[in-house]
Structure 1
Amino acid sequence: MDRRQFLTAGAVAGLSLAACARTERAPTTPMSSPTSARPGPEAPRVSTVADGLDVPWAIAFLRDGSALVTQRDDATIAHVSPDGTVAIVGDVSGVAPRGEGGLQGIAIAPGDESAVFVYYTSEDDNRLVRMEFDGRRVTSARPLLTGLGAAYNHHGGAIGFGPDGRLYVAVGDAAQRDVAQDLRELNGKILRLGPDGRPPSDNPFGNEIWSYGHRNVEGLAFDGAGRLWASEFGQDDEDELNLIRRGGNYGWPEMEGRTMRTRGTADPGFIAPALTWTTDEASPAGLAIVGTTAYVAALRGRRLWRVPLDGDTAGPPTAMLTGRHGRLRAVAAAPDGSVWISTSNTDGRGRPDERDDRILQLTV
């Protein structure tokens, strides 16, 4: 039995695990539309850049328009060219894939393509490391941040540089929900670090934490005004798109979406989401912003959400690509103004065909 046959056979088990974990959930039918959504035309200009990938989790672009892509389960970094050429340029040692963990986020330092940062799950923890890229190989991992809690799910894993030159890192609650409100713990947070892994002196709490009260953030993106947005998995009812503020408390585990879970009235200190979906329609993973439009990949929802942004508000979302390519995970804004999207059908919870997984290109 080859890998794709195994994954197809294993999808049923993955569906059961997803139902129990209420996390990167497998698709169910029928799916309703969120009350805030409006119908729109399916995107007509989508093409396949590359196929045959293994759970492509994150995409980071180089100046020439090619990209480095992490493959979660085989712990490799692929170089993907716009013409579809795929080459493995790095093997990340120490990665121990389990559940939703493995080799996840990737970011390239602004102005220095030799500095590559990746987030991964080891046998003992989640961690952030810096690697070196000489244009042909990614090598020499140097740990910057270790000891982050890891479990079967809720790893977080999104990383990206902001316009301030700082590295932002999303760390899940590792299925220990109470840590999200504990400012002594780094899980359940978005962190802000210098390229050396140290917290800048202007962070709000004197440590690495930038915002807290998060369950499982898997998408980070900055808009043209430098505002940070994040896509976040809810538990049972509401998934979120959040505008992230310095020192902000996003309410988990007391609040899911706009709903209080533990008491009847909202704490005025909690920041409500800019937008929510039902968990059937989203399971939001990757996030990219092009101009004034956010694009959010949906795993269980098997679609791409297009969200208009107006300053610090999010307008009604439009569903695109619904059901056409299966589970969608990574989204990244390409230098040419297009959007690259990865499928996630070989992750044990999808329904892969012989060409999965793919990198798609959406012309916007």
Structure 2
Amino acid sequence: MLAALLLCAQLNQPPWAPAINEPPVIGPAVNPGDVPMESVFADPDAGDAHLASDWELWTVVPFALAWTYTGAAGFAATNAALGDGSFVGSHAGAGTLFDDTTYLLRVRHRDDSGDPATEWSPWASRAFTTGSAQDWFPLELKDVLDAPGHQWTRAADGAAVDLPGGAVPPSLALEASLTLGLLTVTGSGGPDLVSNPPPLPAAGPVRARLNGGANGLVLPETDLELHAPGCEKHVLLLPAVNLQPFEQAIFWFSDDGVSFEATAFQTAPVFIQPARLPEPPWIVEQSGFVVEEVATGLALPVDIAFVPAPGPAPDDVLFYVSELYGTIRTVTRDGSVGTYAANLLNYDPGGLFPGSGEQGVTGLAVDPITGDVFASMLYDTGLGTPWNPVHYPKVVRFTSLDGGRTAASQQAILDFVGEVQGQSHQISNLTIADDGRLFVHMGDGFASATAMDLSSFRGKLLRAELDGSPAADNPYFDAGDGIDARDYVWASGVRNPFGGDLRFADGNLYVVENGPWQDRLARITPGLDLGWDGNGTSMAINALWNWFPARAPVDMAFAQATTFGGGGFPPAKWDRAFVSLSGPTYLKGPQDGAKRIDEFLLNGVGAVVGEPVTLVSYAGMGHGSIAGLAFGPDGLYFSTLYPEATAAGPTGVGASILRVRYEGVVDCNGNGQADDCDIALGSSADCNGDGVPDECQVGLAVVRSGEPANPAALAVGSTGPPVIGGVWRPLVDNALVLQGAVTDVLALTAKGLNVPTPFGTLLCDLSGATLSFITAPGVPFAVTVPSDCALIGVGLSAQAVAVGALGELALTNALDLTIGS
């Protein structure tokens, strides 16, 4: 019996059935083009390792195989992507799963025992449902505000659209819920006739009808700007039209203003054929900002690093861009793209998206003192096989001899031997702090057990000197026991901390991190452990914010005075964190909650205040997404990662660098909201109806001396310029104009003039309506201004004359006045 038991103990046992982490058991619908598949290997035999896995996706109705990936090795053994396998059966050639369909994920693990009878685990399975591959949402309105009023302009030059008249004139009708009117603009031969009916009972999807009228209508591309209740601004992008007499063109609108072709028979929005897309295909969702292309012709641009003090010439290098597949580019002030360093990878990184192709050169940083460029990347060790290579991470320092245009030499300052990494969860972001130390973000390499293991570099935020040695004030530094991973650790317990930035307000590093089904924004303090243990719930540990479902935050940047003066953003935006959310890998069209930049407000202790607000979002039909993010001298720059054109593929040339630039809004009271919205919402009064909030209508008094010049003897006095409901008290300094004067007389007229006289230059037109006031020398005049808001902004001219005992006269300077509120 004992011998039999010993024999059984020596026999190989199959691995346990895989534990499936992704897709989650409970969660939102999965994007059909980017299905996360993650499992955990476990084996009752202590010495057995994970050799390979088989992955399958089956449709439930009918029950049929749709996708398969057999013999997945390396990182794909526990983390598979659709791009790594093959679509079969009804899905052959599809490239993605189907929308709104229930699937069954099946996976089994193989150990390295070599025993065909016991090397495979039982199958594990999990059901999940897909959603939509693209997320277009209809614009829904119940009212268009009369004030601020709509503006309909030509896209090319901003000129107002003026519809022609005629017996049956052309018109534009904006409707909600098919037939309920929101706004109608009709040609008249003069100013367009506008009809703005009362609010509708409920909001409905918006469409526009352009009618050619009796003579037809030809219009170029136009923009219709309007405001909804709450002063929410919308810009509807209308295409060029060439309508025959009485012909109609009908368009649906997405919530970001993109127009789509419609028919009279459609009863609900159909977002299939776009009529007009923005160019570039990104929409700014906050007033006062614009988005514009800076440079293009890039391939997989991952990160952006600015020259800290760029030169002023058009051909001076402004920033660097890392391209994933082994190139660092320069971009000059005039948008020209050059090559700083190329062929940086000693292996072919080409692979599938999503899948094994997501690896290479990632993070960049520029030394503000030397101008040297630091880059993080993976290199091939030669220890693996073609189908299961072994890659290690490193940080390389590049030095230039031509003003940063090209690299003359390179040196690996950090080489993480033994720390195997591959696609996605690799070394990434680099940041040089004000103290000259380098922060290095290290993914866990799909080995979650390394994240809280201080003997491993993986799953950490590291801090080093620029020569690659550990910073001596790191929380675990101890030179006495030799230098190892522990000496470099600044914080631990992270999964895939792809982006981050230093916040000047508190001096801390903030990090955005990709999780399995929820993502994390965290404030990093020395010695912090963020607790990543392989379970998605641990992504909530020490989180300032969690994205659920996961949105793939890949970079962040603070708007702050210490970084190019906030990049030209207004001070109200300073100390805000901006985060790029890339969303599912290489998918077309908008994605719910992703392909955008979100803005976070943090308080003094780093906690998130309120909900994030979107600054920019994708509104195209292509694959464009977002990755790198950095503030420059004139805005917030971001990389689009993929070309728009489908034919180029994810690795093709055609990706761009865009810039979000602040143009400003008319905001006289500085509350961050446009003045016309302050008035529309009732937060500011505008009693004279001139479109300027009353609190901004300050009184003015401008000195005018005349030609020849009179003595500057008349001053506004202690009360300042005149305001409605107040008493204005100007004063004459008789010592400057007529000593011994016995009386001072003040004249207020509607306009000024300049007529020399024997008594000085007459500067007020006394021929019109004139108010006069008399006072004794040295005593201020008392001018009572009625409490009539119609007087706000009214201009007047005031001049005084000093009268002597013998009737002699002496004229003073004039004050050109604007009455304030």
> Could you tell me the TM-score, scaled by structure 2's length?
0.38
Q: Give, in whole Å, the separation in 1 of the partners of 2:361 and 2:653.
A: 21
Q: Give, in whole Å, the separation in 2 of the partners of 1:95 and 1:286.
A: 26
1:178 partner SS: helix
Residue 93 of structure 1 is matched in structure 2 by: 344
Q: CA deviation at 1:105?
A: 0.7
Residue 514 of structure 2 is matched in structure 1 by: 233
The answer to whether the aligner puts 1:42 opposite 2:299 as a matched pair is no
> Structure 1 residues 68, 199: CA separation in 2 closer, same or farther (over 3 Å shift)?
same
> Structure 1 residues 355, 348: CA separation in 2 closer, same or farther (over 3 Å shift)?
closer
Contact 1:343 1:356 in 2 (8 A): no
Name stretches of at least 5 consecutive residues in structure 2 with no aligned partner: 1-31, 39-78, 84-95, 97-131, 138-231, 234-283, 312-317, 350-355, 381-390, 478-486, 561-574, 584-593, 663-821
More displaced 10-residue stretch of structure 1: 103-112 or 182-191: 103-112
Question: What is the correspondence of 1:1-364 to structure 2 with a 5 Å cutoff?
Answer: 15=33, 21=79, 28-30=133-135, 42-43=285-286, 44-62=289-307, 63-64=309-310, 66-73=318-325, 75-96=326-347, 97=349, 99-113=357-371, 115-123=372-380, 124-134=391-401, 135=403, 136-146=405-415, 147=417, 148-206=419-477, 207-225=487-505, 226-236=507-517, 238-253=518-533, 256=536, 259-260=537-538, 271-280=541-550, 282-291=551-560, 292-300=575-583, 301-311=594-604, 312-315=606-609, 316-324=611-619, 326-334=624-632, 336-346=633-643, 356-364=654-662
Contact 2:554 2:579 in 1 (8 A): yes
The RMSD of aligned alpha carbons is 3.1
Contact 1:55 1:347 in 2 (8 A): no
Q: CA deviation at 1:307?
A: 1.1
Q: CA deviation at 1:352?
A: 6.3
2:424 partner SS: coil
More displaced 10-residue stretch of structure 1: 92-101 or 167-176: 92-101
Q: Give, in whole Å, the separation in 2 of the partners of 1:158 and 1:273.
A: 19
Residue by residue over 1:13-41, the C-alpha shift from the partner in whole angstroms, topping out at 9 and shown as x without a partner, is: x9457666489x99944499xxxxxx997
Contact 1:232 1:285 in 2 (8 A): yes
Q: Kindly provide the amino acid, as one letter, of the partner of residue 232 in structure 1.
A: E
Contact 2:299 2:651 in 1 (8 A): no
Q: CA deviation at 1:89?
A: 1.9
Q: Kindly provide the amino acid, as one letter, of the partner of residue 299 in structure 2.
A: D
Q: Give, in whole Å, the separation in 2 of the partners of 1:31 and 1:276.
A: 24
Q: CA deviation at 1:345?
A: 1.8
Q: Give, in whole Å, the separation in 1 of the partners of 2:439 and 2:503.
A: 14
Q: CA deviation at 1:279?
A: 3.7
Q: Kindly provide the amino acid, as one letter, of the partner of residue 298 in structure 1.
A: L
Residue 677 of structure 2 is matched in structure 1 by: none
Higher relative contact order (CA 8 A, sep 6+): 1
> Structure 1 residues 181, 233: CA separation in 2 closer, same or farther (over 3 Å shift)?
same
Residue by residue over 1:200-239, the C-alpha shift from the partner in whole angstroms, topping out at 9 and shown as x without a partner, is: 1111112111000000011120112222101100112x11
Q: Give, in whole Å, the separation in 2 of the partners of 1:109 and 1:179.
A: 30
Residue 35 of structure 1 is matched in structure 2 by: none
Q: Give, in whole Å, the separation in 2 of the partners of 1:329 and 1:221.
A: 14
> Structure 1 residues 294, 45: CA separation in 2 closer, same or farther (over 3 Å shift)?
same
2:614 partner SS: strand
1:52 partner SS: strand
Contact 2:376 2:427 in 1 (8 A): no
Residue 186 of structure 2 is matched in structure 1 by: none
Q: Kindly provide the amino acid, as one letter, of the partner of residue 493 in structure 2.
A: G
> Structure 1 residues 116, 354: CA separation in 2 closer, same or farther (over 3 Å shift)?
closer
Q: Give, in whole Å, the separation in 2 of the partners of 1:57 and 1:352.
A: 12
1:94 partner SS: coil
> Structure 1 residues 142, 306: CA separation in 2 closer, same or farther (over 3 Å shift)?
same
2:362 partner SS: strand
Q: Kindly provide the amino acid, as one letter, of the partner of residue 631 in structure 2.
A: A
Q: Give, in whole Å, the separation in 2 of the partners of 1:163 and 1:22.
A: 40
Q: CA deviation at 1:274?
A: 0.8
Residue by residue over 1:124-164, the C-alpha shift from the partner in whole angstroms, topping out at 9 and shown as x without a partner, is: 31111111122221132211111232123311410010122
2:298 partner SS: coil
Q: Give, in whole Å, the separation in 2 of the partners of 1:241 and 1:231.
A: 5
Contact 2:296 2:657 in 1 (8 A): yes
Contact 1:166 1:194 in 2 (8 A): yes
> Could you tell me the TM-score, scaled by structure 1's length?
0.82
Contact 1:92 1:141 in 2 (8 A): no
2:450 partner SS: helix
> Structure 1 residues 208, 92: CA separation in 2 closer, same or farther (over 3 Å shift)?
farther
> Structure 1 residues 318, 131: CA separation in 2 closer, same or farther (over 3 Å shift)?
same
> Structure 1 residues 22, 338: CA separation in 2 closer, same or farther (over 3 Å shift)?
farther
Contact 1:192 1:208 in 2 (8 A): yes
Contact 1:70 1:78 in 2 (8 A): yes
What percent of counterpart residues are identical? 27
How many matched pairs? 329
Q: Kindly provide the amino acid, as one letter, of the partner of residue 576 in structure 2.
A: T
Residue by residue over 1:88-145, the C-alpha shift from the partner in whole angstroms, topping out at 9 and shown as x without a partner, is: 12114334335321111111112211x2111001113111111112222113221111
Q: Kindly provide the amino acid, as one letter, of the partner of residue 356 in structure 1.
A: G
Q: Give, in whole Å, the separation in 1 of the partners of 2:641 and 2:400.
A: 26
2:618 partner SS: coil
> Structure 1 residues 17, 78: CA separation in 2 closer, same or farther (over 3 Å shift)?
farther
Q: Kindly provide the amino acid, as one letter, of the partner of residue 128 in structure 1.
A: V
> Structure 1 residues 283, 155: CA separation in 2 closer, same or farther (over 3 Å shift)?
same
Contact 2:460 2:492 in 1 (8 A): yes
1:51 partner SS: strand
